[in-house]
Amino acid sequence: MTHMPVVYATNAIHSDAMARLAPHVRLVIGADTSDETIRRHVEAADAVIVRAKLPDDVFAGTNRIRGVVRHGVGLDFIPVEAATAKGIPVANLPGSNANAVAEYVFSALFHLRRPLGRMDADLRASGWGSARGQADATIEIGPTTIGIVGVGTIGKRIAAIAQGFGMRVLGASRSGAPVPGVEIVQLETLFQESDAVVLACPLSDQTRGLVDAAMIGRMKPGAALINPARGPVVDTNALVAALASGRIVAALDVYDLQPVPAGSPLFDLDGLLMTPHVGGITSTSMRAMSLGAAEEILRVLRGEEPVNLVNPAYRLAKAG
């Protein structure tokens, strides 16, 4: 019987991708995402599809892994430097969930500005007049300013949708490169002038704690902060204080600790929408990400480099 390479997926993937892989590999899906489980499966795998945070030492003992593919975009789930040192190519899927995240941003913004769900509940519980009375306090987003921190693939998609609503769009990025329809400004200016601030930047040493008490203090009263990026980009204590005072509103899809601990003060705050890291997940994006990951895995197993290779320096370690 011909040996089939083992592909380990930290979490379930779309059925279409499973069907794509089935003739070529033995797919193993982890029962949980504990560090112990992940280490055990990685040790026995030829390639890995990543949807959960890998332990920093996950590649310490392996000499079998031929490639690692992120089921999505963010690379903070993968110890890329450790993989590079082992001669393991790492790939991600840029743009695969950009539209899902962008649509999440506007779903959250409408929830904060024109909460139809709350009106529906009030109409059913208290009647027509009570529900209708909420409308006077709602806000149209068209005449307002949105600031996007990080105008990469996701940020550009958010900007395009915002322009469709007629919003003024500000952007801040490390490169400062021009983006059509976006006014590139300093971060401080973006926070001062925006009615809604959206975080669309990766987590790095430069962005960790970027949105601190001083930056939040620059925001307009009543402004909205929306974070579908990574939790540690925001100083949670500073955000809790601002929300508790009623000075701003917010929507969070990501957190310092995930899942959010039961006793977190976040659960007691008004003016906060909380979702469980689902900004990039829809049936549409799941299929696209899973199929994209499957194709990259098959390339690696054929001895080819992935299309979206993120660590070309792996070649040096592999050659050595």
If asked whether residues 74 and 116 sit together in one domain, one would say no
Look at the chain and report how many structural domains it folds into: 2
If asked whether residues 102 and 228 sit together in one domain, one would say yes
Sign of the CA dihedral running 173, 145, 231, 307: negative
Percent of the chain topping pLDDT 70: 99
If asked whether residues 291 and 200 sit together in one domain, one would say no
On whether residue 152 sits in a domain, the answer given is: yes
If asked whether residues 135 and 230 sit together in one domain, one would say yes
On whether residue 256 sits in a domain, the answer given is: yes
pLDDT greater than 60 at residue 88 = yes
On whether residue 104 sits in a domain, the answer given is: yes
If asked whether residues 134 and 208 sit together in one domain, one would say yes
If asked whether residues 76 and 139 sit together in one domain, one would say no
pLDDT-based confidence at residue 2 (cuts at 50, 70, 90) = low
Burial class for 18, CB neighbours closer than 10 Å (0-12, 13-18, 19+): middle
pLDDT-based confidence at residue 176 (cuts at 50, 70, 90) = confident
If asked whether residues 246 and 128 sit together in one domain, one would say yes
If asked whether residues 91 and 25 sit together in one domain, one would say yes
On whether residue 258 sits in a domain, the answer given is: yes
pLDDT greater than 60 at residue 1 = no
pLDDT greater than 90 at residue 319 = no
d(CA 118, CA 116): 5
Q: Please, what is the average pLDDT of the chain?
A: 96
On whether residue 266 sits in a domain, the answer given is: yes
Q: What is the DSSP letter of 22?
A: T
Q: What is the pLDDT of residues 29-75, one digit of tens each?
A: 999 999 999 999 999 999 999 999 999 999 998 789 999 999 999 99
d(CA 26, CA 183): 49
Q: What is the pTM of this model?
A: 0.92
pLDDT greater than 50 at residue 269 = yes
If asked whether residues 253 and 122 sit together in one domain, one would say yes
If asked whether residues 90 and 76 sit together in one domain, one would say yes
Q: Where are the alpha helices (DSSP H) in the chain?
A: 15-21, 35-43, 80-85, 98-113, 116-126, 128-132, 153-164, 187-193, 213-217, 236-244, 283-301, 314-319
On whether residue 1 sits in a domain, the answer given is: no
If asked whether residues 105 and 166 sit together in one domain, one would say yes
| pLDDT value, residue 147 | 98
Looking up residue 17, the CATH number of its domain turns out to be 3.40.50.720
If asked whether residues 257 and 119 sit together in one domain, one would say yes
On whether residue 262 sits in a domain, the answer given is: yes
Question: What is the span of the domain harbouring residue 133?
Answer: 98-274
| pLDDT value, residue 62 | 75
